Amino acid sequence: MFKKSVALLALLCAPFSLLAWGVMGHRAVAKIAENHLSSTAKREVARMLGHETMPLVSTWADELRSDPLFRDTAPWHYLNVATGLDFAAFVKQLNDPALAAPAAPTNAYTALLQARRDLKDPKKTAEEKLVALKFIVHLVGDVHQPLHVGHAEDKGGNSIMVNWRAKDDTNLHSVWDTALVEYPGFTYSEMATAYDHATPAQIKQWQKDDMTTWLFESYQLCTPIYASAAVSPTKFDWHFYPTFGPTVEQQVLKAGIRLAGVLNEVFDK
């Protein structure tokens, strides 16, 4: 799956224009995860990354997309599904043979499953495992941004134009990708410090949750998000952050805790 990505492990290129959670959000997710790694996982991740850190590689999978040879990885960052599904129907769609193709990932769900398998696979080379690790660090963050598990008919909110703080040239998806997460003005380390307050019970439950639960949570969070954009005219002013800021904080925190859980499970075994 990731073989052709190996050649770009050292690639330095401009960040992609729209990143789920923005650069600061992705780095905060990775920093929170670092705080919750087991000693074994922390040691193995450090060995694999060398002079790099999890926060600094957290946007690598988006940077990769700027190269024309790797644009086929773009669908790995999201999962667009039908509207109005309950959990059973949602899981059924996730496992639809037309969507779930382990040999050739077509969305964030199948890409995450494959990356986790590759990271565990003793037959994979060190380079292939490093690519898998970098995708996991990024994609766990992606799927906790609700509109990365949004409605297929509007491309996860990309086709819904909105007014953000008196600017008309943006869409609902980009507001959630970057504008909301950057609104408080945190650095990624400040964000991680401010948000990393999960209780032991929450950590245990969130890390126990199956990946389908993560995705369905994001899918459900889309309901009030889409409702906010259904008002005419759509003007997101200073009231918007107090309404949805807690959701951003919750999802960034959950992503960090669950990312640590995935890596602990891989390396502790």
Backbone angles phi, psi at 198, to 5 degrees: -65, 140
E strands in the chain: 161-164, 167-171, 235-236
Mean predicted confidence (pLDDT) in 74-88: 92
Q: What is the DSSP letter of 3?
A: G
Task: Reply yes or no on whether the pLDDT at 157 is more than 80.
Answer: yes
Least confident of 17-31, 111-125, 126-140: 17-31
With both helix axes pointing from N to C terminus, report the angle between 211-228 and 240-268 in degrees, rounded to the nearest 10.
170
Q: How many CB atoms lie within 10 A of CB 264?
A: 19
pLDDT the model gives residue 21: 85
Mean predicted confidence (pLDDT) in 76-103: 82
Mean predicted confidence (pLDDT) in 215-227: 96
pLDDT the model gives residue 71: 81
Q: How far is CA 103 from the centre of its chain?
A: 21
pLDDT the model gives residue 96: 78
What would the CATH number be for the domain defined by 3-268? 1.10.575.10
Domain boundaries, the chain: 3-268
With both helix axes pointing from N to C terminus, report the angle between 126-143 and 39-49 in degrees, rounded to the nearest 10.
120
Mean predicted confidence (pLDDT) in 115-140: 96
Question: How far, in Å, CA of 103 to CA of 91, rounded?
Answer: 19
Mean predicted confidence (pLDDT) in 234-241: 88
Tell which wins on pLDDT, 68 or 1. 68
Task: Reply yes or no on whether the pLDDT at 253 is more than 70.
Answer: yes
Q: Average pLDDT of the chain?
A: 89
CB 132 within 8 A of CB 118: yes
Mean predicted confidence (pLDDT) in 101-120: 86
pLDDT the model gives residue 181: 94
Distances (CA, A) of 122 to 10, 114, 119, 127, 266: 23, 14, 8, 12, 12
Task: Reply yes or no on whether the pLDDT at 6 is more than 70.
Answer: no
CB 11 within 8 A of CB 67: yes
CB 26 within 8 A of CB 15: no
Mean predicted confidence (pLDDT) in 107-112: 94
Question: How far, in Å, CA of 72 to CA of 32, rounded?
Answer: 29
pLDDT, one tens digit per residue, over 160-204 is: 999 998 887 899 999 999 999 999 999 999 999 999 999 999 999
Question: How far, in Å, CA of 34 to CA of 180, rounded?
Answer: 23
pLDDT the model gives residue 167: 81
Tell which wins on pLDDT, 20 or 123. 123
Mean predicted confidence (pLDDT) in 47-73: 90
pLDDT the model gives residue 118: 96
Spatial neighbors of 70 by CB under 8 A, at least 6 apart, are 4, 5, 8, 64
